[in-house]
C-alpha cells in the first residue's frame, strides 16, 4: 500500500508521490519570533518533523524549508515594550526556538530563511502581481491583493467570500481598499513602526505576512512543490492568501498537498499566548517531564485530532517512553556488536501499513507495543537469542528514526559532575558509603537518580513527572 495523505485542498486522502519522483519538497510555516514558542506551537513543528522523518523512512530524500517570521505587528510592539532593536529581539527568540527544537530532537529544516533577508524577493513578487492587475496601490503607499480577481479564492478553506465581505470590519489604516476582504501585500510606514522600514517602489514600509511565505517557498523550492504544512488556524486566511498570490503570479499549481495539524488544547481551549494558557518546553522540563515524553505526547495522537494537555496524558507519555527505553536497554544487554544486523520483521510492515494510512501513528504505536510485550516475554523466559536481540535493536532504531523518543534523554552535566560520578564509583568500591551517598544526594537535589547497573552507573531523571501542571 502506498502512502496516503489527507489533502486539505481536495478534502480527502490521496496517494502521495513526489512531483519529481525522488526528492520531496516541503515548506512549513515557522515561528513568529517575538517570544519563546509554547508547546502548542511545537505540536505543529513536531508534526512537520514527523512527516519529514516518515518520508525518509520510506526512502525519499526530503528538502525542507521553514520560514522565520521576524517582522510583523506583534514583533514591532514587543520591540517597543522591551526597548530592543528588531534584530536584537528576533535573534534572541530565534535562538530560543532552535534550542527547544533541538532538545525535542526536531531535525532542523535544510533552510530556515528569515523574512527580513528576503524583502527584495517579496517586492519582486508584488511587482508581478501589480503588473498582472491582481494587486493595486492605495493613496498612502500600501499595496493590496484583489481577491475578486482570483476565481479560486476560498477553495482551500471552503469559504464563501461573498458572505465574509459583508461582515468584515475595515481597520482604520486600511481605508482605500477596493474590497474589505482584499489583503495587504505591502504596508506603508506608520508612526508606530519607528525605525522599522524598508524602501520600495511604493515608498517606505514593510511587507504583509502572507507574501513572505509565497516568496520564500518558491525561491527555495521552485514555483511548484510537493507539500505545504501548518496548523489548522493557518488555512484561512494565510494559506488561502498564499495560494492566491503564488498562482496569480506564476499561473502554476504552487502546492500539490496541503497538510494541516489540529491544535493542542488546555482545558478544551486552544493553547495560545493570547489566552495565557500556555506552557513552554522549559516549564514542563522543570516539572520533571523529559523532552522525549513531551515529544511523544505531542506526536503520538493522530495529527488531525485535537490533543488535550493534561497531567494524565503527560504521565502516560512518560510511561510509554520509559517502556521503549527499558526495552532497548534489555536488548542491548543481550546483543553483541556482531549480532547487529538489519531485519525485516512483521512489526515493521505493520508500522508502515498504519503510517501509510494518513500517518495513523496511534495504530502504529499499538502494533509496536504488542511486539515489545511479546519480546519482553521471551526475554523473561531466557528464550531470546543474541542474534534476535541484535536484529531487534536495529528494527527498534528504524522505528525510532521516525518517532525519535527511544534513545535515552541524556541529561546535560558539567565536566565536574561527570568526575563526581566516577568519584562515587570509586567511593563505593572503597566502601566509603558516606561520600557515595553525599554525591547521590547532590544529584537527587538536581532531579537526577544514579542507577547502578552491571555496565556502570546510569544517570536518569528521578521523576516521571509528578508536579502539578
Ligand atoms: P506562530 O509562531 O504563532 O506563527 O505559529 C507557529 C505555528 O504554530 C503555526 O503553524 C500555528 O498553526 C501553530 N500553532 C499555534 N498554536 C497552536 C496550538 N495550540 N496547537 C497546535 N499548533 C499551534
Ligand atoms: Zn506561512
CATH number, domain with residue 340: 1.20.120.640
The pLDDT of residue 447: 72
Question: Beta-strand (E) ranges in 248-335?
Answer: 255-261, 264-266, 269-270, 307-308
The pLDDT of residue 167: 43
Task: Please choose, from the candidates 236, 199, 211, the residue with its C-alpha nearest in 3D space to the C-alpha of residue 134.
Answer: 211
Query: Do 273 and 314 belong together in one domain?
Result: yes
Atom of ligand 1 nearest to the CA of 263: 20
C-alpha cell at 25: 519538497
CB atoms within 10 A of CB 148: 15
Query: Do 323 and 439 belong together in one domain?
Result: no
User: For the packed helices 361-380 and 386-403, what is the interaxial angle rounded to 10 degrees?
Assistant: 160
Mean pLDDT across the chain: 93
Domains: count for the chain: 3
What is the span of the domain harbouring residue 340?
269-403
The CATH number given to whatever domain includes residue 109 is 3.40.50.620
Residue 393 within any structural domain of the chain: yes
What is the C-alpha separation between 350 and 364, in angstroms, rounded?
Answer: 7
The finding on whether 298 has its CB within 6 A of some atom of ligand 1 is no
The finding on whether 78 has its CB within 6 A of some atom of ligand 1 is no
Residue 168 within any structural domain of the chain: no
Question: Are 86 and 196 spatial neighbours (Cβ–Cβ below 8 Å)?
Answer: yes
What is the C-alpha separation between 345 and 133, in angstroms, rounded?
Answer: 58
Query: Do 318 and 395 belong together in one domain?
Result: yes
Chain center to CA of 176: 38
Query: Do 33 and 119 belong together in one domain?
Result: yes
Query: Do 425 and 338 belong together in one domain?
Result: no
Can you tell me whether residue 136 is helix, strand or coil? strand
Residue 173 within any structural domain of the chain: no
Question: Beta-strand (E) ranges in 300-455?
Answer: 307-308, 448-453
Mutation to probe ligand 1, out of 35, 38, 40, 66 (largest number of atoms < 8 A from CB): 40
The pLDDT of residue 452: 80
Task: Please choose, from the candidates 143, 116, 141, 118, the residue with its C-alpha nearest in 3D space to the C-alpha of residue 129.
Answer: 143
Ligand nearest to the CA of 265: 1
Query: Do 303 and 425 belong together in one domain?
Result: no
The finding on whether 101 has its CB within 6 A of some atom of ligand 1 is no
Domain-terminating residue out of 261, 278, 305: 261
Question: Are 113 and 119 spatial neighbours (Cβ–Cβ below 8 Å)?
Answer: no
The finding on whether 228 has its CB within 6 A of some atom of ligand 1 is no
The pLDDT of residue 173: 53
Question: Are 259 and 51 spatial neighbours (Cβ–Cβ below 8 Å)?
Answer: yes
Classify each residue of 28-61 as buried b or exposed e, where b means 16 or more C-beta atoms within 10 Å of its C-beta.
bbbbbbbbbbbbbbbbbbbbbbbbbbbbebeebe
Look at ligand 1, atom 13, and give the residue with the nearest C-alpha: 41
Mutation to probe ligand 1, out of 100, 233, 234, 298 (largest number of atoms < 8 A from CB): 233
The finding on whether 70 has its CB within 6 A of some atom of ligand 1 is no
Regions in the chain scoring below 50 on pLDDT:
166-170, 172, 465
End-to-end CA distance of the chain: 42
Residue 93 within any structural domain of the chain: yes
Query: Do 436 and 379 belong together in one domain?
Result: no
The finding on whether 272 has its CB within 6 A of some atom of ligand 1 is yes
The finding on whether 38 has its CB within 6 A of some atom of ligand 1 is no
On whether the pTM is more than 0.85, the answer is yes
Residue 202 within any structural domain of the chain: no
Residue 331 within any structural domain of the chain: yes
Sequence-separated contacts (24+) of 347-350 with Cβ below 8 Å:
347/371, 347/395, 347/399, 348/395, 348/398, 348/399
Ligand 2 is a single-atom ion; what residues have CB below 5 A from it? 29, 213
From residue 283, alpha-carbon distances to 31, 174, 467 in Å are 19, 40, 11
β-pairing, 183-188 with 205-207? antiparallel
Q: How would you class 23 by CB atoms within 10 Å of its CB: exposed for 0-12, middle for 13-18, buried for 19 or more?
A: middle
Query: Do 325 and 430 belong together in one domain?
Result: no
Query: Do 448 and 308 belong together in one domain?
Result: no
Q: What is the DSSP string of 19-81?
A: TTSSEEEEEE---B-SS---HHHHHHHHHHHHHHHHHHHTT-EEEEEE-BB--SHHHHHHHHH
Question: Are 73 and 34 spatial neighbours (Cβ–Cβ below 8 Å)?
Answer: no
Query: Do 370 and 322 belong together in one domain?
Result: yes
Look at ligand 1, atom 14, and give the residue with the nearest C-alpha: 41
Query: Do 373 and 434 belong together in one domain?
Result: no
Residue 148 within any structural domain of the chain: no
Residue 90 within any structural domain of the chain: yes
Question: Are 278 and 37 spatial neighbours (Cβ–Cβ below 8 Å)?
Answer: no
The pLDDT of residue 414: 81
Q: How far is ligand 2, taken at its centre, from the CA of residue 61, in Å?
A: 23
Query: Do 317 and 241 belong together in one domain?
Result: no
Look at ligand 1, atom 6, and give the residue with the nearest C-alpha: 31
Domain-terminating residue out of 357, 374, 403: 403
Amino acid at each position: 500500500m502506498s502512502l496516503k495523505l489527507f489533502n486539505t485542498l481536495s478534502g480527502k486522502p490521496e496517494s502521495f508521490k513526489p512531483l519529481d519522483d525522488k526528492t520531496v519538497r516541503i515548506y512549513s510555516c515557522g515561528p513568529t519570533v517575538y517570544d519563546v514558542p509554547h508547546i502548542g506551537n511545537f505540536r505543529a513543528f513536531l508534526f512537520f518533523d514527523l512527516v519529514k522523518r516518515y518520508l525518509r523512512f520510506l526512502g525519499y530524500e526530503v528538502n525542507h524549508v521553514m520560514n522565520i517570521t521576524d517582522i510583523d505587528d506583534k514583533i514591532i510592539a514587543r520591540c517597543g515594550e522591551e526597548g530592543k532593536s528588531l534584530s536584537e529581539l528576533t535573534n534572541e527568540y530565534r535562538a530560543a526556538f532552535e534550542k527547544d527544537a533541538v532538545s525535542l530532537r526536531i531535525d532542523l529544516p535544510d533552510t530556515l530563511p528569515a523574512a527580513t533577508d528576503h524583502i527584495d524577493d517579496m517586492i519582486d513578487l508584488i511587482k508581478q502581481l501589480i503588473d498582472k492587475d491582481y494587486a493595486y496601490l492605495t493613496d498612502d503607499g500600501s499595496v493590496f491583493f484583489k481577491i475578486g480577481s482570483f476565481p479560486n479564492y476560498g477553495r482551500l478553506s471552503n469559504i464563501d467570500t461573498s458572505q465574509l465581505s459583508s461582515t468584515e470590519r475595515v481597520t482604520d489604516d486600511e481605508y482605500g481598499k477596493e474590497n474589505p476582504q482584499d489583503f495587504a501585500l505591502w504596508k506603508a510606514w506608520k508612526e508606530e513602526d519607528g525605525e522599522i522600514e524598508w524602501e520600495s517602489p511604493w515608498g517606505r514600509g514593510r511587507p504583509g505576512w502572507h507574501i513572505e511565505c509565497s516568496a520564500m517557498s518558491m525561491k527555495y523550492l521552485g514555483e511548484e512543490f510537493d507539500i505545504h504544512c501548518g496548523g489548522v488556524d493557518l488555512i484561512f486566511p494565510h494559506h488561502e492568501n498564499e495560494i492566491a498570490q503564488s498562482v496569480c503570479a506564476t499561473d502554476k499549481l504552487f502546492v500539490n498537498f496541503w497538510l494541516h495539524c489540529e491544535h493542542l488544547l488546555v482545558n478544551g481551549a486552544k493553547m495560545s499566548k493570547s489566552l495565557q494558557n500556555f506552557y513552554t518546553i522549559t516549564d514542563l522540563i522543570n516539572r520533571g517531564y523529559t523532552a522525549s515524553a513531551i515529544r511523544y505526547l505531542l506526536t503520538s495522537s493522530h495529527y488531525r485530532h485535537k490533543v488535550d494537555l493534561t497531567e494524565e496524558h503527560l504521565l502516560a507519555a512518560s510511561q510509554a517512553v520509559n517502556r521503549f527505553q527499558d526495552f532497548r536497554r534489555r536488548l542491548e544487554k543481550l546483543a553483541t556488536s556482531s549480532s547487529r544486523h538489519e531485519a525485516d520483521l512483521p512489526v515493521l510492515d505493520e508500522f508502515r501499513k498504519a503510517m501509510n494510512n494518513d500517518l495513523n501513528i496511534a495504530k502504529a504505536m499499538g502494533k509496536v507495543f504488542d511486539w515489545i510485550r511479546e519480546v519482553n516475554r521471551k526475554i523473561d523466559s531466557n528464550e531470546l537469542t543474541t542474534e534476535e536481540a541484535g536484529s531487534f535493536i536495529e528494527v527498534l532504531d528504524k522505528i525510532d528514526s521516525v518517532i525519535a523518543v527511544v534513545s535515552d534523554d541524556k541529561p546535560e552535566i558539567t565536566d565536574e559532575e561527570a568526575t563526581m560520578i566516577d568519584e562515587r564509583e570509586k567511593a563505593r568500591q572503597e566502601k566509603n558509603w558516606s561520600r557515595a551517598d553525599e554525591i547521590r544526594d547532590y544529584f537527587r537535589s538536581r532531579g537526577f537518580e544514579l542507577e547502578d547497573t552491571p555496565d556502570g552507573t546510569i544517570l536518569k531523571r528521578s521523576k516521571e513527572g509528578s508536579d502539578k501542571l
